[in-house]
Amino acid sequence: MPPPSRYTLPIWTALASAGGGALVIAALHMMHRLDIEAAMAGIILVLAAGALIGWGGASGIGLGEDPAAPGGADELSREPPYAALVDALPDPVLLVTGLEPDDPTGRRYVLANPAAREVLNLTSPSGLLVTAIRDPDVLEAVDEALFGQVAASALYDLGGTQERVLKAFAQPLGGEDGGLRTAVLVLRDETDIRRAERTRADFLANASHELRTPLASLSGFIETLRGHARSDEAAREKFLAIMQTQAERMSRLIDDLLSLSRIELNEHIAPAGEMDLALAIMDVLDSLGPLAREGRVTLTSDIPPVGWAVTTGDRDQLVQVVQNLVDNALKYTPPDGGIKVRLRTDLSAAEAVAPVMEDSSRLSLLTPDHGTTRYLVLQVTDSGPGIAREHLPRLTERFYRVEGQKSGARPGTGLGLAIVKHIINRHRGGLAVESVEGSGATFTAYVPMS
């Protein structure tokens, strides 16, 4: 029995001598249109044809030379384009081998393209299959393809902070009875579909529930104005003012719900583009300056020079993070209090969430999956009443409000921190809160440095 790594070689060389370029291109083309099932069939056709002809060639039947390598150059020089083909596919692809049906731990993956290595977080291009995928349903599908010789599929919940859902397709590639068998496993990202479904359900539930309250109050006042308050000048002015506040609240709520839905739909797609977090903070502080002066709150900042805090991120979204955090701090800081905004660069995840206040209760609201990167750390500290420890776990919940706390003249929508959390999660960062009852709270948001 040849070792698995050498087993794959005949397939690629066979592919090369079969001159299956057209088929491969067709397969690639189909893959490009995300038509996986058709593309899989194409690839398998290529592999099968290649294998037949290739092995024929090896045993002396011969099929002419590869035009790209006249004179029958060494086999290695023919291999790369076909390995590159699988490597170039946008979807994760694994080649799986197995020897014994009743030794489920003997399945190995002998080839994993970069997409697969990224999604499954693999360090080596081959190894035991269970170290890459543990999901029992997917393993069962692979078994069916290997030993039942039928195509099978399974839903694969990847878990993790970004909550990705994949569909796994396993197709048999043949092999001798009792010998080494091979199958190909293709994963397709279905997070979008599922997320859209859930977002729609959430949106309907939230919108109908949360919009009903201001709407009920609006129609109540309209009734009063048409009824006994019709000719009461003073009451009319007062009611109209209340109605305006309610209408404004409804419109803010709709804005926030829509932006939350948009962010959630893209949450698993990492942002592209460079932006300077220091500049974003300066912009936000400038725009919130008048509001702070109005409430007699001192805004102090400690941010690095422009160009030091550059990150890969969506500028508008990160501005919204800063905006929401500072805005929240403003809401809860009493007159003559102070708010401190601090940005530090090049810290590890552990350093980012290290305590900054004494005797505080702390909680991480969001932790990134892989904590080996260096982070930009934004900290907003207020001098408000602080948050009791039992409320900390629920802070990023939609519409959650800490009982008995007044947020002053400008009531929020209860979505601010939820939005912050989802944006930071999209940026693969983290969020933590720290609070001392009676003397203030600190929110820490950190995103990877570019």
Partner 1 sequence: MNEHIVKSYEDELNALTAECARMGGLTEAQVADSLEAVIRRDQALAEQVVARDERLDILQADIERKAIRLIALRQPMANDLRRTVAAMKIANNLERCGDLAKNIAKRTMVLAEAEPMAALTRSIERMGRLVSGRLKDVLDAYTASNLERALQVWSRDDEVDEHYNSLFRELLTYMMGDPRTITACAHLLFVAKNMERIGDHATNIAEIIHYEITGDEMMSVPRPKTDGLTV
Q: What is the CA radius of gyration of the chain?
A: 30
Closest contact distance (angstroms) between CB of 146 and partner 1 is 15
Please identify, using beta-carbon distances, which residue of 50 and 430 lies nearer to partner 1. 430
Closest contact distance (angstroms) between CB of 175 and partner 1 is 17
Tell me whether strands 298-302 and 338-347 are parallel, antiparallel or unpaired. Answer: parallel
Residue 133 sits in the site that holds partner 1 (CB under 8 A)? yes
Distance CA 57, CA 187 (A): 33
- Select the residue interacting with partner 1 from 90, 174, 371, 411 (CB under 8 A): 371
* Binding span for partner 1 by CB under 8 A among 24-32, 227-235, 292-300, 364-372: 364-372
- Select the residue interacting with partner 1 from 65, 157, 223, 302 (CB under 8 A): 157
Distance CA 68, CA 79 (A): 12
Residue 433 sits in the site that holds partner 1 (CB under 8 A)? no
Q: Left (φ > 0), alpha (ψ -120 to 50) or beta: where does 51 sit?
A: alpha
Spatial strand order in the sheet of 298-302: 298-302, 338-347, 375-381, 440-448, 430-436, 361-366
**Count of positions on this chain that bind partner 1 (CB under 8 A):** 35
Please identify, using beta-carbon distances, which residue of 131 and 213 lies nearer to partner 1. 131
- Select the residue interacting with partner 1 from 7, 41, 161, 283 (CB under 8 A): 161
* Binding span for partner 1 by CB under 8 A among 17-25, 44-52, 135-143, 242-250: 135-143
Closest contact distance (angstroms) between CB of 98 and partner 1 is 12
Closest contact distance (angstroms) between CB of 106 and partner 1 is 7
Is residue 200 exposed (0-12), middle (13-18) or buried (19+ Cβ within 10 Å)?
Answer: exposed
Residue 359 sits in the site that holds partner 1 (CB under 8 A)? no
Q: Left (φ > 0), alpha (ψ -120 to 50) or beta: where does 91 sit?
A: beta
Distance CA 138, CA 96 (A): 12
Sites for partner 1 among residues 382-401 (CB under 8 A): 389-394, 397
- For the CA atoms of 352, 354, 356, 362, the dihedral, rounded to the nearest 10 degrees, stands at 110
Residue 425 sits in the site that holds partner 1 (CB under 8 A)? no
CB atoms within 10 A of CB 273: 10
Residue 139 sits in the site that holds partner 1 (CB under 8 A)? yes
Closest contact distance (angstroms) between CB of 4 and partner 1 is 14
Task: Say which DSSP state 334 is in.
Answer: P
Please identify, using beta-carbon distances, which residue of 164 and 342 lies nearer to partner 1. 164
Residue 373 sits in the site that holds partner 1 (CB under 8 A)? no
Contact assessment for residue 328 and residue 417, using Cβ atoms and an 8 Å cutoff: yes
Phi, psi of 434 (to 5 degrees): -140, 135
Task: Say which DSSP state 273 is in.
Answer: S
Please identify, using beta-carbon distances, which residue of 145 and 280 lies nearer to partner 1. 145
Closest contact distance (angstroms) between CB of 233 and partner 1 is 43
Residue 160 sits in the site that holds partner 1 (CB under 8 A)? yes
CB atoms within 10 A of CB 379: 20
* Binding span for partner 1 by CB under 8 A among 8-16, 37-45, 356-364, 423-431: 356-364
Please identify, using beta-carbon distances, which residue of 237 and 390 lies nearer to partner 1. 390
CB atoms within 10 A of CB 206: 18
Closest contact distance (angstroms) between CB of 425 and partner 1 is 13
Both tokens of 119, joined, read: 């999604």
Sites for partner 1 among residues 73-132 (CB under 8 A): 100, 102-106, 121, 123, 128, 130-131
- Select the residue interacting with partner 1 from 245, 345, 367, 405 (CB under 8 A): 367
Cα dist from 238 to 213, 232, 244, 408, whole Å: 19, 10, 10, 19
Cα dist from 305 to 28, 35, 276, 309, 448, whole Å: 47, 49, 10, 8, 18
Please identify, using beta-carbon distances, which residue of 133 and 321 lies nearer to partner 1. 133
Contact assessment for residue 440 and residue 383, using Cβ atoms and an 8 Å cutoff: yes
Please identify, using beta-carbon distances, which residue of 56 and 106 lies nearer to partner 1. 106
Closest contact distance (angstroms) between CB of 158 and partner 1 is 9
**Residues interacting with partner 1, by CB under 8 A?**
100, 102-106, 121, 123, 128, 130-131, 133-137, 139, 157, 159-161, 361, 363-364, 367, 370-372, 389-394, 397
